[in-house]
Amino acid sequence: MSILERFSDIIKANINDILDKCEDPAKMIDQYLRDLTENLAEVKSETAAVMAEETRTKRMVDDNAAEVKKYEDLARKALLAGNEGDARVFLEKKQELAAAGAKLAATYETARVNAEKMRQMHNKLVDDIETLRGRREAIKAKVAVAKTQDKVNKLTGAADKAEGAMAAFDRMEQKADRMLDRANAMAELNAEPVNEVDALEKKYASADSNSEVDAELARLKEEMGL
């Protein structure tokens, strides 16, 4: 697998899509940042190698062009000196170098394109990491607030249940009061009516009993000289 294929997913990576799919953004953003940092170190190393290859092939193209020009200049000098045979030899060498130069140019173009892609991946990783670092604390703060809100919601639900229980107890107490009032009413209704004659008879009977006691008390006091 080529370097570019190995890192093709990096150039297409989307931080927001990844964060949207995770259950805990706070943990995921730290993990993603660690992964990106590790990838950056590898991509940086590979990018440097590809850029070095680009530089090397460019140098070879330039050296070849210089050689081509050198042998053309020698051919010109040979012609000016009247040595057509020498000029022919120089031109043959020039053509040989020119043919090799065409292949070198193609190699350099491939190296240049690869280096450009690697630079793009490197720059994207750097941007992603900076973006993530800038947003990390804000995201963590939102997650913390969300968790706190969940707790508040749960406690609010518990308070609502308690309030409902109090209302139910109030209804039960009212029902108990009604039951007690009804029982007292039934007891009152079930009681025997008061006989006024009997009540008066008991009153005066009690009065007579008290009179006899008073008379007996007076007799004792008289006998005792009190």
- Phi-psi label, residue 2: left if phi above 0, alpha if psi -120 to 50, beta otherwise: beta
- Whether residue 38 is contained in a domain is answered as yes
DSSP letter for 168, please: H
Tell me phi and psi for residue 2, to 5 degrees.
Answer: -75, 165
Residue 67: what residue type?
A: E
Task: Kindly tell me if the per-residue pLDDT of 107 is higher than 70.
Answer: yes
> What is the rounded CA–CA span in Å between residue 101 and residue 199?
144
Tokens of 90: 């120089």
- Whether residue 180 is contained in a domain is answered as no
User: Quick one: pLDDT band at residue 47, thresholds 50, 70, 90?
Assistant: confident
> What is the rounded CA–CA span in Å between residue 91 and residue 145?
79
Mark which of 149, 167, 185 sits at the end of a domain. 167
- Whether residue 134 is contained in a domain is answered as yes
Total domains in the chain come to 2
- Whether residue 94 is contained in a domain is answered as yes
Q: Are residues 114 and 220 part of one domain? A: no
Give tens-digit pLDDT for 16-35: 555 565 566 667 777 877 88
- Whether residue 210 is contained in a domain is answered as yes
- Whether residue 64 is contained in a domain is answered as yes
Give tens-digit pLDDT for 154-207: 766 665 666 766 776 677 778 777 887 787 777 777 766 656 666 666 665 665
The range of the structural domain enclosing residue 51 comes to: 3-167
Report CA dihedral (15, 20, 26, 30) to the nearest 10 degrees: -30
Give the DSSP letter string of 19-78: HHH-S-HHHHHHHHHHHHHHHHHHHHHHHHHHHHHHHHHHHHHHHHHHHHHHHHHHHHHH
Q: Are residues 218 and 116 part of one domain? A: no
Is 0.85 topped by the overall pTM? no
- Whether residue 136 is contained in a domain is answered as yes
Q: Are residues 213 and 136 part of one domain? A: no
